[in-house]
Structure 1
Amino acid sequence: MTGGRYGEAVFRPEQAGEGERIDFGALAYDRVTMARLHALGVGPGWRCLDIGAGTGTVSRRLLEEAGVAEVLAVDRDVRFLAERAVPGMEVREADVTAPDFAPGRFRLVHARFVLMHLPDHERLVRRLAELVEPGGVLVLGDAVEPAADRDPATPYDRAMRAMWRGLRETIGTDVSWVPSYPRLLRGAGLERVGAEVRVPPLLPGSPISRFWADTFERSRAAMLATGLVDDAGVDEAVRYLDSEDCAALAAGLLTVWGHRPAARPA
């Protein structure tokens, strides 16, 4: 890793349009996330921790749709959270990797598109599992490449291959370990572990297509440094995403959950 962390070398929150890029991702994936949280019984009375809360879409929907009691929304930079906070939502600027990160215990601990950008995954999964109160649930989500070894025949596939390598070499992003989530949650002492993958369709003008086009633009320097694409190749991929010729498979969202065993009566 040579370029610092997420939000430093790439995806800087002060860069114009970064909040909108995050929102495009939320539009593509929030319904999937909320459907899983509803299925897990998240609802009234729950205290929730939303890590890497971004622009706060999941935090707000937990309060407004699921009716939870409160949400602690945490991010390393809270500018997007602070301007969109709602009643019941506490915003805290913090680093989940810091030794002093100890926000308490929660019935729901949720993190989406966070751990894939951080090193020492097993330790972080164990640490997040420790923040779940007895009877509560940990829900994690990260990107997976459904067919990472396919021949990159489309402009989008070539750009994605360059993007993943470029992000790995600059900020340490690594999705290769994400399919190990179920094993890691079980190893952290959680029970009733389950997992699912959802892949949104790449359609012209769709939120996920706009998300990836913006992501390519913001990670262009890292992509070019790999030598797998040039400027023309990135431009071609951006045009392709908004073209009726687009016929490619998007990265999926793997969501995994596990329950902390309930406390036994004394």
Structure 2
Amino acid sequence: MTDAPRGDAPAGGRYGEAVFRPEQAGESERIDFGALAYDDITMARLRALGAGPGWRCLDVGAGTGTISRRLLQEAGVASVLAVDRDVRFLTERPAPGLDVLEADITAPDFAPGRFRLVHARFVLMHLPERDRLIATLAALVAPGGVLVLSDAVDLTNDRTPGTPYTGAMRAMWQGLRSSIGTDVSWVPAYPHLLRGAGLMPVAAEIHVPPLLPGSPLSSFWADTWERSRAAMLATGLIDDAGVDEAIGYLRSDECAALSAGMLTAWGWKPKP
């Protein structure tokens, strides 16, 4: 059951629903473009951590359910509980062993059980209560289990070449922070936060996928900029022509840029 947004929700709505609306045409395709860019990396890490037969898993912010289904079909886990604020894309694609729960993970009573694997990707970066939420998710990990968190890392800085892509990314991050509360600046602190939640040992890695014309990742960023265009324009860092130029740049052979990275950190719940 989805709880109503609380008073600390940003003006853009919790989880960014005001910008990335599930009911908007093409939103499931945008999510799947991101999945095509990152799912292989995520699955390689989860399997390296041991995800397999007998594991009961929780997939937080499951989106269209690509990782949930691959855990079942490729890793052979026992079950996956896929959680999201809006489950329309999950219920459209049922699978054996896949249970679906519509819920707000920020709700005080969010406690769906204990799991050998708790996984959340591109979720916490949109929420302000990150310290509390990491503690909440850590509490859902069974002894001997693992919490795996992935979020974006902004790789632009003052020395990054001034390309149309760089300008659009800077405007996007600032616009999303102002409108829906997205903040990726703290993501490198994941290992420290996991340790603070009582997990050990902890480790982390970063993956930066290539930006290639016509690639799923390029399509993901183009669609993301279209949906967040108003927030980007409100920063004053870019205008409509600049957004259009950046989208064209992604589709051209001139594109030479680093995508935002995906940092993945994990920590183990000690056995008694």
TM-score, normalised relative to structure 1: 0.97
2:134 matched to which residue of 1?
A: 125
Separation in structure 2 between the aligned mates of residue 234 and residue 54 of structure 1, nearest angstrom: 26
Separation in structure 2 between the aligned mates of residue 70 and residue 148 of structure 1, nearest angstrom: 42
Contact kept in structure 1, 2:175 and 2:234, CA below 8 Å: yes
After superposition, give the CA deviation of every residue in 1:125-171 in whole Å (9 maximum; x if it has no partner): 11100000000000000000134343450001000000000000000
Q: Which of the numbers 95, 100, 122 marks the counterpart of 1:91?
A: 100
The answer to whether residue 239 in structure 2 is matched with residue 201 in structure 1 is: no
Identity of counterpart residues, as a percentage?
77
The structural deviation recorded for 1:124 is 0.6
Q: Which of the numbers 249, 255, 263 marks the counterpart of 1:240?
A: 249
2:112 matched to which residue of 1?
A: 103
After superposition, give the CA deviation of every residue in 1:14-49 in whole Å (9 maximum; x if it has no partner): 000000000000000000000000110110000000
Specify the SS of the correspondent of 2:63. Answer: coil
Comparing 151-160 and 201-210, the one that deviates more = 151-160
The structural deviation recorded for 1:4 is 1.9
1:174 matched to which residue of 2?
A: 183
Contact kept in structure 2, 1:53 and 1:73, CA below 8 Å: yes
Q: Which runs of 5+ in 2 are unaligned?
A: 1-9
Partner AA of 2:212 in structure 1: L
2:124 matched to which residue of 1?
A: 115
How large is the Cα RMSD of the aligned pairs?
A: 0.9
Q: Which of the numbers 219, 243, 264 marks the counterpart of 1:255?
A: 264
Separation in structure 2 between the aligned mates of residue 164 and residue 145 of structure 1, nearest angstrom: 8
After superposition, give the CA deviation of every residue in 1:45-104 in whole Å (9 maximum; x if it has no partner): 000000000000000000000000000000000000001120000011000001111101
After superposition, give the CA deviation of every residue in 1:209-230 in whole Å (9 maximum; x if it has no partner): 0000000000000000000000
1:131-146 superposed matches below 5 A: 131-146=140-155
Partner AA of 2:11 in structure 1: T
Partner AA of 1:249 in structure 2: L
Separation in structure 1 between the aligned mates of residue 174 and residue 187 of structure 2, nearest angstrom: 15
Partner AA of 1:14 in structure 2: E
1:159 matched to which residue of 2?
A: 168
Q: Which runs of 5+ in 1 are unaligned?
A: none
Contact kept in structure 2, 1:152 and 1:158, CA below 8 Å: no
Separation in structure 1 between the aligned mates of residue 63 and residue 197 of structure 2, nearest angstrom: 26
TM-score, normalised relative to structure 2: 0.95
1:48 matched to which residue of 2?
A: 57
Specify the SS of the correspondent of 1:136. Answer: strand
Separation in structure 2 between the aligned mates of residue 234 and residue 179 of structure 1, nearest angstrom: 28
Separation in structure 2 between the aligned mates of residue 149 and residue 101 of structure 1, nearest angstrom: 41
Q: Number of residues paired by the alignment?
A: 263
